[in-house]
Structure 1
Amino acid sequence: MVTVLEHCRVAPPPGTVPEKSFPLTLFDLPWLPFPSMQRLLFYQFPHPKSHFIDTLIPKLKNSASLTLKHFFPLAGNLIIPPDSSKPEIRYVDGNSVSLTFAESTRDFNYLTENHPRNVDEFHHLVPQMPQVTNVMDTLLVPLLALQVTLFPNSGICFGYTFHHAAADGGSFIRFLKSWASITKFGGDEEWLAGGSFQPLFARTVSNDPNGIETSLWRQVREIKFGEGPVQCLPSNPDRATFVMDRANAQRLKKMVLARIQTQLHVSTFTVTCAYVWVCMVKSCAAIGEEVAEEEEPEGLVCVADCRSCFKPPIPENYFGNCLTACFVTAKSSQLVREEGFLTAAELIGEAISRRPQNEDEVLKGLETWLLKLGMKLKRLSSVAGSPRLCVYDTDFGWGRPKKTEIISTDVTGTAISINERRDSEGDVEIDFNFLTENHPRNADEFHHLVPQMPLVTNVLDTILVPLLALQVTLFPNSGICFGYTFHHAAADGGSFIRFLKSWASITKLGGDEEWLAGGSLQPLFARTVSIDPNGIETSLWRQMREIKIDEGPVQCLPSNPVRATFVMDRNAQRLKNLVSAQTQTQLHVSTFTVTCAFVWVCIMKSGAAIGEEVAEEDEPEGWACVADCRSCFEPPISENYFGNCLTACFVTAKSSQLVRGEGFLTAAELIGEAISKRPHSEDEVLKSLEKLLKLGIMKLKRLTCVPGSPRLRVYDTDFGWGRPKKTEIISMDVKGTGTAICINECRDSEGDVEIGLCFPKIQMDAFATIFYDGLKNL
């Protein structure tokens, strides 16, 4: 995924800076056990690899060296003595910073969008900090590592890892902007002439009359280096960015001011943190994550610069840590209720209003800060970054970054990264990672994995239509994807899955001998397995030949489509119990029935929720699925018959019937009755075939159809590497008159089913809310 082009060490120009040591202050010590800070900045850079190697690498090396002349402590090490002596930052001649240049094959545009992306996609762009070394029981801890990664002809990414004990985020962004400016101007003369303050490293900017520094060091030194807050990556984590625009932030502020009487700090930052915090707690509850007991506190913490609290104020260009914390807790029950946002806003606003305003208050706050951060909470949400850092103003000469990501939020509990928005003054970006393997993903990400069917050819007015195309795609060092496109006129899904499993088995066993010996039935292609006494075939062909080969139901891609998978687990039994208790007629009440009914109603409600045009009250909504009918014939058509042998189950309902309170029961009754009344004999099958064509040409406002079936057992397809991790039916992305619901067995849980959907993002979000809320209220 990433190839290292060059690794080097960069130091200040020889003889330009003195050897010097800087003891850690009472503001630095609390950060000693914390994880390193990591951030990425992505820039558009439409240049080839040759330009990057020949021109940019030498330029960046030179500018990094010149920048380190002014920020030389970053080239040094954090020195932790074996005794109780306080740590210090020490620079000696020859110290340097690790700088890596690399090339990535990943899609630059994919990584720089706001949609959910797996966090693993970003970690190879972040530089590894050099190892801590031990010299005579004294630890030497590097402070900074840099990496620049090229995406040929599209972009470039600057990544850094730095130790928080050396400086706070504001200080380090000052270093980064200085490096950018020196790169842009080709030297440090214009940077200095432009009024940029050189960093101030003096550690005597504040007093400590009460000996707080000694107390803090006593607490910190009990923590072994490399420990600190427990770090863990969540399972299958994703990163996503959301935007709080100025209009919505203003609405939230007005709501708080109208409902809360006390004098609070009601800013965009306050309401954004409150709103996101509540949404996160509710989302954890919605997916069934273990949550805090009702009386157990949830925590949220953010930090604020306190340079201005001192008299005289600590200079803006002071390079080090100078932060105070705002820390709040609330009961889980307070946050998930209807008034949760107002509760959170009041708590956060009050904490910010009461933050230290002078030197004495700052120093007193430091005494309890470490203890608060170490509290054993069920969940602690922390806020990294700040819109005030103006990270998007970092210009290396190619304009503003396209995107910035704080990667260190991937560890230690739940972290929210807040930045100013790149292109809209007053808006903020909210970035965090969350758990789910089935989350919404842009549908376009899958289309290149599906093979294109060869073109139809015309030979002497006879049309030759290819039936199958295959594609195997490698994801280096991680996975492989098998994709196929086949013509439904050749066979039904069950027949094709038999082909796919046969290919898998022959691949796994290295030939077809063992496959045949294992009892696998060879396909039966004979087209005389059924008779047609009533001439239905002639009637069907008469209708079909009026449709041109490239026509059929109108196909269109939805706007900004995303794919997502939902799971119907043990809740299916609750739904079945509900139907059996409230419906008197004898129905086919299976997991398939209640899943289809529940999802159909959720789709209808989600469409209404986003203002989608819906059918008139008396205009029918349609639902359809197909079922194998080989067993309906006498004698039964062989299981290994390769072709189509399907019958349809088709129901309609008024829109008003489905969106009302009893909508699920109505849908379940209609679907259950249709499945119960499906053809069970040869005569019934043949008669129903006349309806199957009508299904494709009926002019409904919306038709919801169900491709796939748990009975196909797609997850049993083993090419020799085990069961598939995931399966997707991509043809459902192209829809005709309505929506497709893909239903498969669940990979790892017998009896559960996966539900695949493709919607515009706005409708997918609405569907997810309605789906999970509906199950929660059973």
Structure 2
Amino acid sequence: MNTKTVKHISEFFVKPQYVTVEMKQPHYLTSWDLAMLSVHYIQKGLLYNKPAAVDDHQDFIKTLLDSLKQSLSLTLVHFYPLAGRFKTVKNENPHSYVVFVDLNDSPGAKLIHASLDMTVADIVSPTYVPLVVQSLFDHDRAINHDGHTRPLLTIQVTDLVDGIFIGCSMNHALGDGTSYWNFFQAFSEIFQAQESGAATTSISHPPIVKRWFPDGHDPIINLPFTHQDEFLSRHEAPQLLERYFHFTTESIAKLKARANSESKTSKISSFQSLSALVWRSIIRSRRFLNDQTTSCRLAINNRLRLEPPLPQDYFGNSIQTVRGVATAGELLEHDLGWAAWKLHEAVVNQDDKTVREWVESWGQFPFIYQLGQFFDPKSVMMGSSPRFNKYGIEFGLGKAVTLRSGYANKFDGKVSCYPGHEGGGSIDLEVCLPPDSMHALESDKEFMAAVS
């Protein structure tokens, strides 16, 4: 049993290189943001090989940390809410409970330097992701509301024997996956510009930090609570195995062709086809009775579904989940195309009207997502996205070897989707299941026939 642990060496707080009058104003959150207060931070990171020709290791690490610190300070000028902390203002008469981001009393974002006496192969080679990977991130088990006292962003740089892991933990109430990867990409872009000697803070995709509220809506949302205990809960996941499965471009193309052929259509996407395979395979691995109702939920980006659409550079949350529903009997008696069409319909039905109706309904009856609600052993949840350019993020270390995530937001049936290392439309799935279900999935002929 490997008992190696991550050791924290030092930590720094990093503020934006300069602060404008606008940055000092309260930054109010939308319904999509506030609904996230009781779920975990986003925790994703990239594992890099250490350069072979390093004469002075201490000097290499110091130079890397100094460059990251400077680049982060410049990046935070664009993504300045990440340098703040949450504040809650409560009034009794009239009643109000308002949560917002404040930069004025915050020490900034955090940069941690840590070490781990393990190799890149120790992280990548095991069939199941080692538990030590959870320690490569700050904010372990923290919920977003903890951003009142914790940094809203932490970058943890862990020095391995022959590699560097850069883990980014971002408060999920400040942004979704699109926002997260836009930040990480900008951070990398500024780092590389600094390395090449370009004294610039410009980035190719500046974020739109101003929050979106429907016309006529007050940007200051009063939550119907008197105390945080009324809407916060902390969820502990059951024992899970976590494994990565790789699907080549060719394998996914075959799944898409099969799903469309079986449904006599051409409208089903690659991702819907792959999600249908995962749904059917995991439900089969759980050996449900035929009348057991199951669902497959997909995280969906609302930006382009609004009219007019929100830009992809909008920094904030603009996601919801849509789902296909079927009994275990229906799902397994029908073919892949039938399941994929269920998911296709769920995606197509998420339009401007549906999105605005959700926002209106939430405004009348605000609620905060609870992780316990997402932990549903009867469902499958497809999160993240293979569309994000995750392997385009470099910090003078070349292309990352692989991507890993922390403890956050995981439960039985959670599947996260990442681009494959070779690109070209290949996909890696990070699957979280209890041991019995995982071993059954690994024996599922239909699923493993599609896995590389």
Q: Give TM class, smaller chain.
A: 0.7 to 0.9
TM-score normalised by length of structure 1: 0.50
Structure 1 residue 248, shift from structure 2 partner = 2.1
Larger Rg: 1
Q: Is the contact made by 2:27 and 2:100 (CA closer than 8 Å) also made in structure 1?
A: yes
Q: Does 1:98 align with 2:110?
A: yes
Q: Does 1:247 align with 2:250?
A: yes
Q: Is the contact made by 1:13 and 1:69 (CA closer than 8 Å) also made in structure 2?
A: yes
Q: Which amino acid aligns with 1:259?
A: E
Structure 1 residue 156, shift from structure 2 partner = 0.6
TM-score normalised by length of structure 2: 0.82
1:283-324 residue CA offsets vs partner (Å, 9 max, x unmatched): 232xxxxx4x54342222222222223344323322111224
Q: SS of the residue aligned with 1:85?
A: strand
Change over 3 Å in CA distance of 1:200–1:56 after alignment to 2:
same
Q: Which amino acid aligns with 1:365?
A: W
- From 300, 312, 315, the counterpart of 2:311: 315
Q: Which amino acid aligns with 1:21?
A: P
Q: How does 1:257-296 map to 2 (within 5 A)?
A: 257-261=260-264, 265-285=267-287, 291=288, 294-296=290-292
- From 333, 338, 355, the counterpart of 1:343: 338
Structure 1 residue 109, shift from structure 2 partner = 1.7
Separation (CA, whole Å) in 2 of partners of 1:343 and 1:371: 33
| Unpaired segments ≥5 residues, structure 2 | 446-452
1:181-206 residue CA offsets vs partner (Å, 9 max, x unmatched): 2222217956655x513222212x44
Q: Which amino acid aligns with 1:334?
A: E
Change over 3 Å in CA distance of 1:189–1:85 after alignment to 2:
farther
Separation (CA, whole Å) in 2 of partners of 1:155 and 1:414: 31
Change over 3 Å in CA distance of 1:42–1:60 after alignment to 2:
same
Separation (CA, whole Å) in 2 of partners of 1:174 and 1:376: 28
Q: SS of the residue aligned with 2:381?
A: strand
Q: Is the contact made by 1:334 and 1:340 (CA closer than 8 Å) also made in structure 2?
A: no
Q: Does 1:120 align with 2:134?
A: no
Matched residue, 1:21: 26
User: What fraction of aligned residue pairs are identical, expressed as a percent?
Assistant: 22
Separation (CA, whole Å) in 2 of partners of 1:36 and 1:76: 15
Q: Is the contact made by 1:265 and 1:353 (CA closer than 8 Å) also made in structure 2?
A: no
Q: Which amino acid aligns with 1:348?
A: L
1:566-604 residue CA offsets vs partner (Å, 9 max, x unmatched): 9xxxxxxxxxxxxxxxxxxxxxxxxxxxxxxxxxxxxxx
Q: SS of the residue aligned with 1:61?
A: helix
Q: Which amino acid aligns with 1:278?
A: R
Q: How does 1:195-214 map to 2 (within 5 A)?
A: 196-203=204-211, 205-209=212-216
Matched residue, 1:406: 405
Structure 1 residue 95, shift from structure 2 partner = 2.7
Matched residue, 2:259: 256
Separation (CA, whole Å) in 2 of partners of 1:264 and 1:220: 52
Q: Which amino acid aligns with 2:113?
A: F
1:352-394 residue CA offsets vs partner (Å, 9 max, x unmatched): 12221x2x33111346786998489543322221111111111
Structure 1 residue 59, shift from structure 2 partner = 1.6
Matched residue, 2:350: 355
Separation (CA, whole Å) in 2 of partners of 1:181 and 1:314: 23
Q: Is the contact made by 1:111 and 1:117 (CA closer than 8 Å) also made in structure 2?
A: no
Change over 3 Å in CA distance of 1:378–1:428 after alignment to 2:
closer
Separation (CA, whole Å) in 2 of partners of 1:53 and 1:375: 40
Q: Is the contact made by 1:197 and 1:317 (CA closer than 8 Å) also made in structure 2?
A: yes
Separation (CA, whole Å) in 1 of partners of 2:294 and 2:145: 39
Separation (CA, whole Å) in 1 of partners of 2:335 and 2:213: 40
Structure 1 residue 71, shift from structure 2 partner = 1.5
Q: Does 1:148 align with 2:160?
A: no
Separation (CA, whole Å) in 2 of partners of 1:102 and 1:60: 14
Q: Is the contact made by 1:33 and 1:220 (CA closer than 8 Å) also made in structure 2?
A: no
Separation (CA, whole Å) in 1 of partners of 2:255 and 2:285: 20
| Unpaired segments ≥5 residues, structure 1 | 286-290, 441-565, 567-763, 771-778
Structure 1 residue 418, shift from structure 2 partner = 0.5
Q: How does 1:405-444 map to 2 (within 5 A)?
A: 405-408=404-407, 411-436=410-435
Structure 1 residue 132, shift from structure 2 partner = 9.2
Separation (CA, whole Å) in 2 of partners of 1:260 and 1:147: 46
